[in-house]
Amino acid sequence: MHPALSILVFTVTSGFGYGLMTLLILSQLLGGSPFANVNAYLIAFFVAFVLMSIGLLSSTFHLANPKNAWRAFNRFRTSWLSREGVLALLYYPIALSYVAVLWINEWQTTVAAYVLGAVCVVLGFVLTHCTAMIYASLKTIPQWHTRRVPIGFCLFFIYSGVLAYALAVVSEGGSPLSAVWIAACVLALTGLVFKLKYFTFVGEPSKTTINTATTFTEATVRLFDTGHSAENFLQKEFAYVVGPKTQALARKAVLALAFIVPLVLSALQFSRESSSLSMAIAAVLCCYVGLLLERWLFFIEAKHVVRRFYGEQY
Amino acid sequence: MKLGLLIDLDTCVGCHGCATACKQWNTSGTIGPLSDSNPYGKDPDGAWLNRIRTYEVGDAPDSKTVHFPMSCLHCENADCVTVCPTGASYKREEDGIVLVDQDKCMGCNLCAWACPYGARELDHDQGVMKKCTLCVDRIYDQNLPEEERQPACVLTCPTSSRLFGDFDDPESEVSIKSRQRGGRDLMPELGYEPTNKYLPPREKATVEMFALDSTEDGFSLKSWVNKMIAR
Amino acid sequence: MVHVLLKRRLIDEEFLVRYTNAPQLIIHAPGSAEHGLILRTDEGEPAVWDQVSENYASACDPNVSPALVGEYQTPDGRTVKTAMALILEKYSDLQYAPENAAEQCGIAAEDIERFALEMAQIAFKESIRIDTEWTDWAGRKHDHFIGRPVSMHAMRGISAHSNGFQTCRALHLLQALLGTIDCPGGHLAKPPYPKHIPPHIKPARTCAPNTPLESPPLGFPTSPEDLLIDENGDPLRIDKAYSWDAPIASHGMMHMVIRNAVNADPYSIDTLMLFMANMAWNSSMNTAETMNMLREKDDNGEYKIPFIVSCDAFHSETVNFSDLVIPDTTYLERYDTISMLDRPISEPHAACDAIRHPILNTDRDVRSWQEVLIELGGRLELPLFIDENGGRRYKDYKDFIINYEKTPGIGFLAGWRGENGDQHLVGAPNPKQWEAYIENESFFELKLADNQRFLRHSNQGYLEFAKNAGWVGSTDQIVIELYSETLQSFRLAGEGLYDGPTPKTEEQAERLVKYFDPLPFFYKPLEQQQQDENQYPFYAINQRPMHMYHSWDSQNAWLRQITSHNYMYMNRKQAIDLGIDDLGWAWVESHNGRIRVQVKYMEAVEKNTVWTWNAIGKQAGAWGLTKDANESHQGFLMNHLISESLPKQKSITNSDPITGQAAWYDLKVNIRAALAEEQGSWPEFDEVKTLPRQQSTPDSVSYATHSNVNLNRSNRDILTRGGLK
Ligand SMILES: Nc1nc2c(c(=O)[nH]1)N[C@H]1C(S)=C(S)[C@@H](COP(=O)(O)OP(=O)(O)OC[C@H]3O[C@@H](n4cnc5c(=O)[nH]c(N)nc54)[C@H](O)[C@@H]3O)O[C@H]1N2
Ligand SMILES: Nc1nc2c(c(=O)[nH]1)N[C@H]1C(S)=C(S)[C@@H](COP(=O)(O)OP(=O)(O)OC[C@H]3O[C@@H](n4cnc5c(=O)[nH]c(N)nc54)[C@H](O)[C@@H]3O)O[C@H]1N2
Ligand code: SF4
Ligand code: SF4
Ligand code: SF4
Ligand code: SF4
Ligand code: SF4
Ligand SMILES: [Mo]
Give the B window 45-64 contacts with C, CB below 8 Å: 45-46, 48, 56, 58-60, 63-64
Any idea which ligand is nearest the CA of C614? 2
Residues of C in contact with B64 (CB under 8 A): 604
**CA angle, A245 then A251 then A255, to 5°:** 150
DSSP alpha helices (H): ranges in C42-197? 83-91, 98-105, 109-120, 156-159, 164-178
Residues of B in contact with A220 (CB under 8 A): 57-59
Phi then psi dihedrals of residue C538, to 5 deg: -100, 140
Give the C window 612-671 contacts with A, CB below 8 Å: 630
A231 interface with C at CB cutoff 8 Å: no
Measured CA to CA in angstroms, residue C458 lies from A154, B25, C45, C141, C473 at distances of 86, 46, 17, 12, 14
Is a pLDDT exceeding 90 seen at residue A38?
no
For residue B69 and ligand 6, the question of a CB distance below 6 A is answered with yes
Mean pLDDT value of segment A287-299: 97
pLDDT of res. A243 = 95
Tell which atom from ligand 1 comes closest to the C-alpha of C157. Answer: 28
For residue B162 and ligand 3, the question of a CB distance below 6 A is answered with no
Neighbours of C92 (CB within 10 A): 17
Q: How many residues does chain C have?
A: 725
Kindly report, residue by residue over C4-47, the tens digit of the pLDDT. 999 999 999 999 999 999 999 999 999 999 999 999 999 999 99
Contact call for A78 and C725, based on CB within 8 A:
yes
CA gap B47, A95 in Å, rounded: 43
Mean pLDDT value of segment A197-224: 96
Tell which atom from ligand 1 comes closest to the C-alpha of C665. Answer: 32
pLDDT of res. C92 = 94
pLDDT of res. B222 = 79
Is a pLDDT exceeding 60 seen at residue B73?
yes
Is a pLDDT exceeding 60 seen at residue A59?
yes
pLDDT of res. B214 = 63
The residue whose CB lies within 8 Å of the most ligand 3 atoms, and thus the one to mutate among B95, B97, B98, is B98
Please list, in sequence order, all residues whose beta carbon lies within 8 angstroms of the beta carbon of residue C667, skipping any fewer than 6 positions away.
C527, C539, C540, C541, C590, C638, C641, C642
Kindly report, residue by residue over C466-513, the tens digit of the pLDDT. 999 999 999 999 999 999 999 999 999 999 999 999 999 999 999 999
Burial of C126 (0-12, 13-18, 19+ CB in 10 A): middle
Point out which residues pair with C128 in neighbouring strands.
C147
Neighbours of C575 (CB within 10 A): 25
Contact call for C121 and B208, based on CB within 8 A:
yes
Residues of C in contact with A224 (CB under 8 A): 602-603
For A299, nearest residue in chain B (alpha carbons): B113
Mean pLDDT value of segment C78-92: 97
Please list, in sequence order, all residues whose beta carbon lies within 8 angstroms of the beta carbon of residue C354, skipping any fewer than 6 positions away.
C337, C338, C344, C345, C437, C442, C443, C444
Mutation target vs C (from A229, A232, A235; most C CBs, 10 A cutoff)? A229
Contact call for C704 and B65, based on CB within 8 A:
no
When CB atoms are compared, the residue of C88, C120, C629 closest to B221 is: C88
Kindly report, residue by residue over C118-162, the tens digit of the pLDDT. 999 999 999 999 999 999 999 999 999 999 999 999 999 999 999
Strands (E), chain B: 3-8, 36-37, 45-46, 50-57, 64-71, 89-91, 98-100, 120-123, 128-131, 162-166, 197-199
Q: What is the mean pLDDT of chain A?
A: 94
Kindly report, residue by residue over B39-59, the tens digit of the pLDDT. 999 999 999 999 999 999 999
What's the complex ipTM?
0.94
Is residue C723 very low, low, confident or very high in pLDDT (cuts 50, 70, 90)?
A: low
Is residue C725 very low, low, confident or very high in pLDDT (cuts 50, 70, 90)?
A: very low
Point out which residues pair with C597 in neighbouring strands.
C586
Contact call for C713 and B101, based on CB within 8 A:
yes
From the CA atom positions of chain C, what is the Rg in Å?
Answer: 29
Please list, in sequence order, all residues whose beta carbon lies within 8 angstroms of the beta carbon of residue C92, skipping any fewer than 6 positions away.
B219, C3, C6, C7
Phi then psi dihedrals of residue A223, to 5 deg: -75, 130
B202 interface with A at CB cutoff 8 Å: no
Gap from CA of C220 to ligand 8 centroid (Å): 19
* CA proximity to A44, closest of A172, A219, A131: A172
Question: Please, what sign has the CA dihedral across residues B193, B197, B203, B205?
Answer: positive
Is a pLDDT exceeding 60 seen at residue C412?
yes
> Helix, strand, or coil here: A311?
coil
Please list, in sequence order, all residues whose beta carbon lies within 8 angstroms of the beta carbon of residue A288, skipping any fewer than 6 positions away.
A12, A16, A160
Q: What is the interface size between A and C, counted as CB pairs within 8 Å?
A: 32
For A230, nearest residue in chain C (alpha carbons): C561
Q: What is the mean pLDDT of chain C?
A: 95
Is residue A106 very low, low, confident or very high in pLDDT (cuts 50, 70, 90)?
A: confident
Residues of B in contact with A69 (CB under 8 A): 106
Point out which residues pair with B128 in neighbouring strands.
B123
Phi then psi dihedrals of residue A262, to 5 deg: -60, -35
> Helix, strand, or coil here: B186?
coil
Contact call for A75 and B84, based on CB within 8 A:
yes
A224 interface with C at CB cutoff 8 Å: yes
When CB atoms are compared, the residue of B29, B37, B216 closest to C699 is: B37
CA gap C197, C478 in Å, rounded: 7
Phi then psi dihedrals of residue A122, to 5 deg: -60, -45
What distance lies between CA A19 and its chain's CA centroid? Answer: 10
B209 interface with C at CB cutoff 8 Å: yes
When CB atoms are compared, the residue of C66, C118, C546 closest to B231 is: C66
Nearest CA to ligand 5 atom 2: B135
pLDDT of res. C106 = 87
Is residue B215 very low, low, confident or very high in pLDDT (cuts 50, 70, 90)?
A: low
Provide the pairing of β-strand C568-571 with C141-147. Answer: unpaired
From the DSSP assignment, how many helices (H) and strands (E) are in chain A?
Answer: 12, 1
Per the rule left: phi > 0, alpha: psi between -120 and 50, beta: everything else, C15 is: alpha
Gap from CA of C426 to ligand 7 centroid (Å): 28
Tell which atom from ligand 3 comes closest to the C-alpha of B73. Answer: 1
Gap from CA of B158 to ligand 7 centroid (Å): 9
Provide the pairing of β-strand B50-57 with B64-71. Answer: antiparallel
Tell which atom from ligand 4 comes closest to the C-alpha of A64. Answer: 1
* CA proximity to A120, closest of A29, A54, A42, A203: A29
Is residue B212 very low, low, confident or very high in pLDDT (cuts 50, 70, 90)?
A: confident
For residues C661 and C525, the answer to whether their CB atoms sit within 8 Å is no
CA gap C258, C241 in Å, rounded: 14
For residues C487 and C30, the answer to whether their CB atoms sit within 8 Å is no
pLDDT of res. B213 = 66
Phi then psi dihedrals of residue A176, to 5 deg: -65, 160
When CB atoms are compared, the residue of C563, C602, C715 closest to A229 is: C563
CA gap C642, C594 in Å, rounded: 10
Mean pLDDT value of segment C525-552: 95
Is a pLDDT exceeding 60 seen at residue C722?
yes
Is residue A165 very low, low, confident or very high in pLDDT (cuts 50, 70, 90)?
A: very high
Residues of C in contact with B216 (CB under 8 A): 8-9
A70 interface with C at CB cutoff 8 Å: no
Burial of A89 (0-12, 13-18, 19+ CB in 10 A): exposed
Residues of B in contact with A215 (CB under 8 A): 9, 184-186, 198, 200
Mean pLDDT value of segment A170-180: 88
The end-to-end CA distance of chain B, in Å, is: 61
Residues of B in contact with A213 (CB under 8 A): 186-187
Between B221 and A51, residue with greater pLDDT: A51
User: How many Cα atoms occupy the beta-carbon half-sphere of A174 within 13 Å?
Assistant: 17
What distance lies between CA B83 and its chain's CA centroid? Answer: 25
H/E segment holding residue C134: strand C128-135
Gap from CA of C424 to ligand 3 centroid (Å): 51
Question: Please, what sign has the CA dihedral across residues C541, C547, C548, C549?
Answer: positive
DSSP alpha helices (H): ranges in C559-694? 559-562, 572-577, 630-633
Please list, in sequence order, all residues whose beta carbon lies within 8 angstroms of the beta carbon of residue A178, skipping any fewer than 6 positions away.
A270
CA gap C662, C645 in Å, rounded: 10
The full 3-state SS of A70-134, as one line of letters, equals HHHHCCCCCCHHHHHHHHHHHHHHHHHHHHHHHHHCCCCCCHHHHHHHHHHHHHHHHHHHHHHHH
Task: Tell me whether the omega of the peptide bond preceding residue A142 falls within 30 degrees of 0, making it cis.
Answer: no
Is residue C181 very low, low, confident or very high in pLDDT (cuts 50, 70, 90)?
A: very high
C208 interface with A at CB cutoff 8 Å: no
Is a pLDDT exceeding 90 seen at residue C210?
no
Tell which atom from ligand 3 comes closest to the C-alpha of B98. Answer: 5
Provide the pairing of β-strand C443-447 with C350-356. Answer: antiparallel
For residues C238 and C267, the answer to whether their CB atoms sit within 8 Å is yes
DSSP A53: H
Burial of A3 (0-12, 13-18, 19+ CB in 10 A): middle
pLDDT of res. C144 = 97
The CA distance from C497 to the nearest CA of chain B, in Å, is: 29
For residues B19 and B50, the answer to whether their CB atoms sit within 8 Å is yes
The CA distance from A271 to the nearest CA of chain B, in Å, is: 47
Gap from CA of C609 to ligand 8 centroid (Å): 22
From the CA atom positions of chain B, what is the Rg in Å?
Answer: 24
Point out which residues pair with C354 in neighbouring strands.
C338, C443
For B16, nearest residue in chain C (alpha carbons): C547
For residues C126 and C149, the answer to whether their CB atoms sit within 8 Å is yes
Is a pLDDT exceeding 70 seen at residue B216?
no
Tell which atom from ligand 6 comes closest to the C-alpha of B156. Answer: 1
Please list, in sequence order, all residues whose beta carbon lies within 8 angstroms of the beta carbon of residue B93, skipping any fewer than 6 positions away.
none
Residues of A in contact with B184 (CB under 8 A): 215
Ligand 4 neighbours by CB, cut-off 6 Å: B 84, 86, 88-89, 100, 105-111, 129
Kindly report, residue by residue over C591-610, the tens digit of the pLDDT. 999 999 999 999 999 999 99
Kindly report, residue by residue over C634-659, the tens digit of the pLDDT. 999 999 999 999 999 999 999 999 99
CA gap C719, C725 in Å, rounded: 14
Residues of C in contact with B209 (CB under 8 A): 114, 117-118, 120-121
In this complex, the chains that touch A, judged by 3 or more CB pairs closer than 8 A, are B, C
* CA proximity to B209, closest of C116, C113, C118: C118
Any idea which ligand is nearest the CA of B13? 6
C332 interface with A at CB cutoff 8 Å: no
For residue B133 and ligand 5, the question of a CB distance below 6 A is answered with yes
For residues C334 and C368, the answer to whether their CB atoms sit within 8 Å is yes
Is a pLDDT exceeding 80 seen at residue A33?
no
Please list, in sequence order, all residues whose beta carbon lies within 8 angstroms of the beta carbon of residue A243, skipping any fewer than 6 positions away.
none
